[in-house]
Structure formats: structure tokens, C-alpha cells
Amino acid sequence: MQRATISTVASFLAFALAACTDTAPPSSPNRPPPAARTTLATDDDDVQLDVPLAGLTAAELDRFNRGRAVFSRVFTEAEGLGPSFNSAACANCHEEPSVGGTGDDLDEDIETHVARLTGTTCDDLTASGGGVIQHHTTQLLQAAYPGYVSEATPSGAVVAHRSTPALFGFGLLDAIPASAIQALADPTDANGDGVSGRPSLANGKLLRFGRKATDETLLGFNAGAFQNEMGITSSVAFDEQLLVGVHPFPFSSAISPTTMGSEISNQDLALATDFVRFLRPPPQAKRDVQANDGRELFSSIGCATCHVPSLQTGPSSTRALDRVTVEAFTDLLLHDMGDGLADICRGKTLPSEFRTEPLMGLRFRERFLHDARAETLDDAVLRHGGEATRARDRFSELKANQRAALIAYLNTL
């Protein structure tokens, strides 16, 4: 996968989007964009979290709502979908409990990622169709290659699974200064607490997005999602993904009618980006006495060492992003989580390393961890290892009422 230098297009593009997976074929009916919202509805029967940050200007709010339409658009082959893809629309998998949220189907909304680590060299298997496996192909590809209905997993690959992340509050994460994140790092565990988070760096730039911290900005993260999940190329992520056995490559116009040039315009990518950039993080629920006790335990047993309760954005010309306290519960650093959670490498990130998952909106999730393997919060905590071993062990040693209090607190986030 190749991407243009972001600085060459950043003056036109903003930031935004993310990964998704859906088995709906390209003939799926086009979903109308949801009605614009400016207020948060949290009724248990109809939770709506796809609302903008407070304080947007009229022009920013207009971009948020126009961006929602791009985010919800169902792309067709004629518009650049495929020739291999996981979903035809961002909102097909970022859908629960509202547009921009998580996936709601463990069969359809779990991605397959692949890589191979040889010594210290990580190969994302791009030459074999990796590192994201697409589970669908277009009718044009199938007409030329009958039976080619999904991409095969490359031989010898290590396979990992990824749940669809909720995107609420991601624009605030993008606005946190790199220096503030790097100040939290302790790569040599100088304080002896067993936690040695390190920043993910490439060419001197801090990477903060993706479960393995692979992207510097929302722009790159989201452009990569259009490319990897939908086969939609852009001026930022401009190459189709190779399909083993399909020739020629780059694809002919018979297989990919829009093979020349970007398949999403700079304007539409910027609008989709602004939709995600301006999504408000879910508010925390009111805490009772039990949850307040759990809040204290969250810090005292060591959870808050990595899941840092709050960070602050830097100065911004966008008032809604300007020096805002973000209750994100992450340090955006990489941590070794132990062999039990290890799967694939990405760049310089090792198989056992993961970026600390933000806990904004945690109570709206039904499955937990990067691959949705954990069905309960207790299970998710107990599966932590590596640098989180001490905190995990302290959690397991709590009395039943204390564990219940900590889980009650997590269920307010």
C-alpha cells in the first residue's frame, strides 16, 4: 500500500474516518444519510451518539452534516468500489449505536489482517494482497475471474482479527500535541512500575491511530480505510491492493473502470474527515456510590497508568478543538500486552504491542479488546498481560464487591 506525502494534500484535506467490514454486496440499496442532529439522545431504547462537538461554527456544522452523507454513501463499481472490498459504505460497519460507532455483527464486522515477522523485519504481505484481507469482490472481477469471490489469505501469514472501532471523539485525539503524548512515555521503565509505554514513531513523527499506532493523523488513517476496506483510492492512499492471480496489475479498466486517478475526490474525503473529526465523545453516565468507589480503585490498582483519564488538546483555530480536556482514558502509547494477546506486527510495532485503547463510550460496547474476543469487562481485564500484569493481578485479588465497584465505574464511561 502506498500513500502520498500527507503534507502535499493536507492544505486541502482536513482529517478523518476508519476501518470497517460488511458482507453487503455492491448491489445493496443505498441508505439515505441520517438526519442531522445537534443534540445528544441517550434513551436506552434509541441511543444516538452521532452528534457534533459543542461550539462548532455554522460552516463547521455544515461540513459535519455534509460529511455524514459521504460517510453513509454506498459506493458502486462505477464509482471505484473494489475490485476487492469489505464494505460498500463506511456507515455499514460504523453503525452502533449510531453512525460512527462500532460494528454490530461478529461475522460481518470483524476484519482480517495479516503479516509475517522474520527476525526484526515486518512484512505486511502487500505483494501477496495483504495486509487487510477483503472478503468480497465486484461483479466485474467475478466476470473476468469466475469463482474469485473473496481474497485468499496469503500462505505462511500470521492472521489477526480486528473489531470495528467507534470513532466518537477521534478529532480530539488528533488535536492532542505529540509532545504531551511523548511526555507520558517511559520506555525503560525508569520508575520501576512495570509499565514501559513507548511512542510509535516514523520519520520523527508520532503515530497515534490504529490498534498498532500506524498512522500519524486522522487523514492518513481514514484515507487508508477507504483504500483497504472499500478499494476506494485517493490522493493520499492512491494504489489499489494487489489480488493474487489477477492480471495485469494495476488492473485493467475492464476490472476497475476508475483505475486511473483518485476514486474519491479531495473534497469528499475532506468532508468525510470533518464528520469524524467533529464527532462528540459520548458523555459519561452519572456515577453512584459504588461507581465512585470503583473510580478510586481504577487508579489505585494501576489501570490509570496506561488508560490515562484525561489529556488536553493544543491550540487550534477550531474553537471546539482548542485546548479542550479530553476524558479519553488512553496515553496513545504502545505497550507490550503479553503473549496471550499477541498477533501480528505492523511496521516497527511488535506482535505483542498495542496502542492503549481509548475508553470513551465504553458502556456502549458489547464486546471488548481489539478482536472482540472478550464478552465481559471482567474477561477483558483478566486477559491483559505483559506490562498490564501487575494491574491485572491486583484486579483479580480484589474482593467481589470491589471488583463489582470497578466494573460499575467502567460502565459509566
Average pLDDT (306-326) is: 98
Q: Is the pLDDT of residue 42 over 70?
A: no
Of residues 248 and 35, which shows the higher confidence score? Answer: 248
pLDDT attached to residue 259:
67
Pinpoint the residues of the chain covered by CATH 1.10.760.10: 289-410
pLDDT attached to residue 106:
79
Q: Is the pLDDT of residue 43 over 50?
A: no
Q: Is the pLDDT of residue 12 over 80?
A: no
Stated pTM of the model: 0.89
The answer to whether the Cα torsion of 107, 219, 41, 69 is positive or negative is negative
Q: Is the pLDDT of residue 168 over 70?
A: yes
Q: Is the pLDDT of residue 6 over 50?
A: no
pLDDT attached to residue 27:
34
Phi, psi of 80 (to 5 degrees): 115, 0
User: HSE on the CB side for 310, CA within 13 Å?
Assistant: 7
Segment among 11-15, 178-182, 217-221, 296-300 with least mean pLDDT = 11-15
Q: Is the pLDDT of residue 403 over 80?
A: yes
Average pLDDT (279-286) is: 97
Q: Is the pLDDT of residue 60 over 90?
A: yes
Of residues 335 and 36, which shows the higher confidence score? Answer: 335
pLDDT attached to residue 46:
61
pLDDT attached to residue 48:
87
Q: Is the pLDDT of residue 114 over 60?
A: yes
Average pLDDT (106-114) is: 88
Around Cβ 15, how many Cβ atoms within 10 Å? Answer: 23
What CATH number was assigned to the domain covering residues 289-410? 1.10.760.10
pLDDT digits (tens, 9 = 90+) for 222-269: 999 999 999 999 999 998 889 999 999 989 999 999 867 799 999 999
Q: Is the pLDDT of residue 11 over 50?
A: no
